[in-house]
């Protein structure tokens, strides 16, 4: 769901900095060739992710849900010198495309791809995590929170996408599907945890930004 008009969205995009050329190419190829291109982070959210990464300057960043790699490339823009982004996905068809654009962007030394379930990969990654972006299967958001939270750095940032879920989070309990219920539970868990400082932003389909105290 688009929560503001297309004209206002375009106004925001036009005043949110320029996408690097490789992101423009990646976005165009995703829309032309890949199933469900609406999953692409896109210009405005991509610049938001890049800005957060540039502010945090993470040494270790983790992305749960790679898709075609747009958000990974944005997150990698702000890595500290020698930092690494670990991006995780189980899609069997997209890794070649993702690797091709990581190479185009000159970020092969900054992004490591993992092709196994995230709950298997996360315990094996180096820590502490300075920045985590969650954008995968919605029913597992609470489990992903549980997996990453003990490994977060103090002051680290967790970002979760799709937390408004096209407005379905406002549906009566009896009308909620499994994904909607999981997203509500995830947001409630974050909000109730005294270790966390969250703010929910109606950017695209909703973004929850969480600071670890």
Greater confidence, 4 or 208? 208
Q: Which residues does 125 contact at the CB level (< 8 Å), separation at least 6?
A: 60, 62, 86, 151
In a domain, 55, yes or no: yes
Q: What confidence category does residue 1 fall into, taking pLDDT thresholds of 50, 70 and 90?
A: low
DSSP state of 136: S
Asked whether residue 130 is domain-assigned, the answer is yes
**Residue 109 banded pLDDT, cuts 50, 70, 90:** very high
Burial 19-55 (b: 16+ CB within 10 A, else e): bbebbeebbeebeeebeebebbbbbbbbbbbbebbee
Within a domain: 153? yes
Task: Give me the number of domains the chain comprises.
Answer: 1
Instruction: Tell me the residue range of the domain where 191 lies.
Output: 6-212
Q: According to the model, what pLDDT value does residue 105 have?
A: 97
How high is the pLDDT of residue 157?
Answer: 98
> What rounded mean pLDDT belongs to the chain?
95
Residue 58 lies in a domain: yes
Residue 154 lies in a domain: yes
- How confident is the model at residue 36, as a pLDDT? 86
For 161-202, the pLDDT digits (tens) are: 999 999 999 999 888 999 999 999 999 999 999 999 999 999
Q: Is residue 144 part of a domain?
A: yes
What is the C-alpha to C-alpha distance for residues 108 and 206, in angstroms, rounded to an integer? 30
**DSSP-assigned beta bridge partners for residue 152:** 129
1 located within any domain: no
Q: What is the CATH number of the domain that holds 117?
A: 3.40.50.150
pLDDT at 40: 87
Burial class (CB in 10 A: 0-12, 13-18, 19+), 161: buried
Answer whether residue 119 is part of any domain: yes
């Amino acid at each position: 769901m688009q929560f503001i008009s297309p004209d206002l969205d375009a106004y925001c995009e036009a005043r949110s900095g320029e996408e690097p050329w490789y992101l423009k190419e990646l976005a165009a190829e995703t829309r032309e060739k890949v199933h469900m291109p609406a999953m692409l982070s896109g210009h405005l959210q991509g610049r938001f992710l890049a800005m957060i990464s540039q502010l945090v300057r993470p040494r270790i960043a983790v992305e749960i849900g790679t898709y075609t790699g747009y958000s990974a490339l944005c997150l990698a823009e702000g890595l500290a010198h020698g930092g690494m982004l670990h991006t995780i996905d189980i899609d069997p068809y997209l890794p070649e495309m993702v690797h091709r654009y990581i190479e185009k962007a000159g970020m092969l030394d900054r992004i490591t791809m993992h092709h196994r379930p995230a709950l298997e990969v996360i315990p094996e990654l180096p820590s502490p995590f300075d920045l985590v972006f969650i954008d995968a299967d919605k029913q597992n958001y609470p489990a992903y929170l549980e997996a990453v939270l003990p490994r977060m750095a103090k002051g680290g940032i967790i970002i979760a996408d799709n937390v408004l879920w096209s407005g379905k989070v406002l549906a009566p309990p009896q009308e909620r599907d499994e994904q909607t219920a999981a997203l509500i539970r995830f947001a409630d868990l974050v909000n109730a945890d005294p270790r966390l400082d969250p703010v929910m932003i109606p950017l695209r389909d909703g973004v929850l930004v969480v600071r670890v105290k």
